[in-house]
Every structure is written in structure tokens, then in C-alpha cells.
Structure 1
Amino acid sequence: MSSRMISEEPSKVGRHRLYSNEQRKDRNREAQAAFRVRRNKYTETLELAVEKNEKTIEDLKSANERNIQRAEVAEQRCAQLDSQVASLEKLLQAALAENERVAQNKTPDTSSASYVSVTSLDQPQDIFAAKWLEEMNHNAIGEFIKVGVFL
């Protein structure tokens, strides 16, 4: 019995090979080549996405800078308008005070109509009010007139 066992070849255990070693090497080479092509394509896709995102970032940065500049200009304009409003409020108060004074006298003097003087305004923001008064104290042909405030 023992001689019989020795002479018999042991049976092959595991997978049965369908391809020869050369065929297997060829299939592995093809699979590796296909993998490299897929990997390069994926890398190119990622690089394009990175370039697109970098361009978007640059566009957003430039838009942000433009918006910051616009905001600064708007803030400056707002400050100018605030000072103009303050100047015009002072002029309005002065005109109302003049109207009150004239109303108390009950006799408006049309021959020597009074106008609000800018010299009493002492703050630099009253430049706008001075320009407005100067425009108001000239008629359409450029002659100086006194603007009276009557009730």
C-alpha cells in the first residue's frame, strides 16, 4: 500500500489555472496600462477642477475688492450727506428764528429783506450751506439778491 501511495501524484488543491503564466502576465500588463490611463484621466480632471476653482477664487477676490471700494465711496458720500443735512438743519433753524422774529414785529420790511448770513456758521461742514445760500442769494441772471424769509 505504501508503494502505491508514493507512486501516485498528489491531487492539486486550490484554483485551477485557466491561463498560462505568459497569458497572465499579458493580462496584468493590460490591466496596469488601463489603470494608468484611468489614473491620468482622473488626475487631469482634478487639475482642471483646481484651475477652475482658483479662477473662481480670483474672480471673487476682485469682486470683493470692488465691493469694498464701492462701500468706502458710499460711506464717504453718506458722511458728506450727513454734514449737508446738519448744515441745512442749522439754516432752517435760523430761517425759522428769523420768521419768528418777523412775525413778532408784525411788519415785514420788504424794502430791506434780510437774509441768513453764513458768517455765523463756524463749523467746516457748513461749507455746503454756504454754497446753497450763495446760490439762493443770486437770481437766474446772476445778480445778487437778498432772500427774505417772511411769514
Structure 2
Amino acid sequence: YGPSAYLWDYLRRSKQRGYFLPLSGGADSSSTAALVGIMCQRVVEMVQKGSPEDREQALSDVRNIIKDPTYTPSDPKDLAGRMFFCSYMASKFSGNETRSRAKILAEQIGATHTSIYIDGITDAIQESFKAMQVETRFGKSATKDFEVKRAGLS
């Protein structure tokens, strides 16, 4: 439970309203999403079954984060839907399998999930590199290095 407890503590202390995660459907981002899901499960468990002092503190923290003084989470998915935001950031190199996995995982956790295509953004970055005529530490052009990283080949 350590990582999920850390995520909650960080969220509380940072006074942020939640987490945003680019959810690719791969192992790394999916594991991170699962930890946020566990965090939501533990917080709701504390709100519902903790000692009176722990319940009061957890509910106060939740309401501060959500910015709703009357909110009480009904279940972990309800809480996740208010504080966990995911996006599948697709490119021409993305596949349907990872898109599907990301969507299913976000639904299982209760996260607010969206999907966008980022080719226009990455193309603009490549054009900026070309305009700057940047050389990279790999000895190739920055544009080529960026293409390799975007394709996941590095």
C-alpha cells in the first residue's frame, strides 16, 4: 500500500485537484493508473470504515481536493471520476489494442478518460527542430531523434 499512500499524501499536501495521466495501455502507465485506483479504494475505505477521527480527516481531505464541501464518495470509482483524468494520446504509430486497453482500464478504475491524436503536435515540434537546425547528442538531426522516440524505437 506504500505507493498509493504516497500518492494520496502528495495530493493532499500539494493542494492539487487530482492527477492527469497519459494512459498508453502499456505496462508503465497502466501500473501507475492501477496505483491511483488503489489509492481511491483505500481513501473510500477510510471514509466508510475508519475510526471516527480517521473518517473525519479523510472526508475533509477529499472535500478539500474535490472542492465540494458536501461531497462524500459513494465508492472508489466515484472518487476516481472526480480526481483522476487519463488521456490516450494516439499517433500514427498507435494500435487499436493499446487504445482499447487504456479505455478499459480507465473505465474499471472510474477515471475520466479521453483520447486525442497528437500527430499535429509532434509534427509542429519537428518543424521547430528543423527551423532551429538543432544537432543532438546522437549525431543525427533532432528531427530524426524525435521521430525515433515518437515511434518508440529508442
Q: Same fold (TM over 0.5)?
A: no
Q: Which one has a larger percent helix, Structure 1 or Structure 2?
A: 1
Query: When you count strand as a share of all residues, which structure comes out higher?
Result: 2
The TM tier, using the shorter chain, reads: under 0.3
